[in-house]
Amino acid sequence: MTAPPRRLATLLATLRPPFLLLTPACMAPLLALALHQGQATELADRAALALTLAGGLAAHASVNVLNEWQDWRSGLDLRTRRTPFSGGSGALPADPQAAPAALALGLLLLALAAACGLALLLRGVARLWPLLPIGLAGLGLVAAYTPWVTRRPWWCLAAPGLGFGPLMGLGTWVAVGGTGLAGALVLVAVTGLLTSALLLINQFPDVDADRSVGRRNLPLQWGLPRAAALYAALLAAALAALAAGVLAGALPAGAACGLLAAPLALQAAIGARRAARRPADAMTPSLLPAMRSQVLLSLGLPLLTAIGLALS
């Protein structure tokens, strides 16, 4: 029988805590824009802000844990080439007796995310009701991600961006009382494109393992060189969307601080292209610098944008 401290350590690992930083990073520019506009009526309400952040973190953590459980159950965890940025935590293969508890934890976190959304709705503020369809779509995406989404290549590409872009971003925007939707739409497009790019490059090392358990994604369907070109296009689109939003006046000039992260995008795109052309046994080690740049970009660009907006 697994000792309680080890069981707790296993469950904590299935949360993939470092990856949870993506949730506040994606929320930050929306909050900063609402503050900049001076129309975020709920920002002064700490309870509403706490519920929004807690719900987002619970949904993200639920995806992580359920993904870990389903990858262990399918045997994928035993086939992946684990890296610091992809391939799961490896916690359940090392402690398989924790699998039932991991499933329970994932479902509990999903219920917590739903409860946070319901608590916001029960506050009785009429403008919060758009959160209902956003929240239901988000919960559906969490539940469907590993068993359904990962077997449909274009959904597999789009789903992470939808979750961390329009769903999480616009949910945050509604919850804090933001107005002026054009700027918010630009920001959720940027975070969505970056998140889809992040998940896309993370699929590169696992093509053979994914194929063995019936997954279907674009690196598997297209091959790595073509997927690397799509990856570069997603990064370029994210930077172009932010620049266009500033130039068109949808965002204040301070938002352009996010473009300071552009060198990371260039490093990641070039690194992915080079790695994709290497033999399979050399591809993953050569890809690691690009994966590191992508993580820094996914966190850094939204945070720099938020800082620029806060200082505007």
**Phi/psi zone of residue 75: left (φ > 0), alpha (ψ -120 to 50 degrees), beta?**
left
> pLDDT for 127-142, tens place per residue?
677 888 888 898 888 8
> pLDDT for 30-46, tens place per residue?
989 988 877 555 454 67
Which percentage of the chain shows pLDDT scores above 90?
62
Enter the DSSP assignment of 213.
T
Nearest to 184 by CA among 22, 32, 10: 32
> pLDDT for 276-285, tens place per residue?
999 877 898 9
Cα separation of 257 and 81, whole Å?
36
pLDDT at 211 over 60: yes
Cα separation of 141 and 149, whole Å?
8
Segment 15-24 shows an average pLDDT of 95
Calculate ∠ Cα 268-214-281, nearest 5°: 45
Query: What is the reported pLDDT for 215?
Result: 85
Query: What is the reported pLDDT for 126?
Result: 56
Q: What is the CA radius of gyration of the chain?
A: 19
**Residue 237 pLDDT class (50, 70, 90 cuts):** very high
Asked whether the beta carbons of 262 and 270 are under 8 A apart, the reply is no
Cα separation of 61 and 15, whole Å?
5
Asked whether the beta carbons of 180 and 47 are under 8 A apart, the reply is no
Q: In one letter, which amino acid is 225?
A: P
**Residue 105 pLDDT class (50, 70, 90 cuts):** very high
**Residue 82 pLDDT class (50, 70, 90 cuts):** confident
pLDDT at 9 over 90: yes
Place of tokens 């979750």: 163
Between 49 and 114, residue with greater pLDDT? 114
Segment 67-89 shows an average pLDDT of 86
Query: What is the reported pLDDT for 1?
Result: 46
Cα separation of 205 and 87, whole Å?
8
Segment 133-156 shows an average pLDDT of 87
pTM over 0.85: yes
Between 178 and 245, residue with greater pLDDT? 245
Cα separation of 73 and 310, whole Å?
45
**Residue 176 pLDDT class (50, 70, 90 cuts):** confident
Query: What is the reported pLDDT for 81?
Result: 80
Q: In one letter, which amino acid is 268?
A: A
Asked whether the beta carbons of 33 and 178 are under 8 A apart, the reply is yes
Segment 164-187 shows an average pLDDT of 88
Segment 263-268 shows an average pLDDT of 98
Burial, 175: exposed, middle or buried (Cβ in 10 Å; 0-12, 13-18, 19+)?
A: buried
Q: Which alpha helices (DSSP H) does the chain contain, by range?
A: 4-14, 22-37, 46-74, 91-94, 99-121, 131-144, 153-162, 168-175, 181-202, 207-212, 218-222, 224-247, 262-276, 280-311
Place of tokens 């369809």: 133
Asked whether the beta carbons of 220 and 150 are under 8 A apart, the reply is no
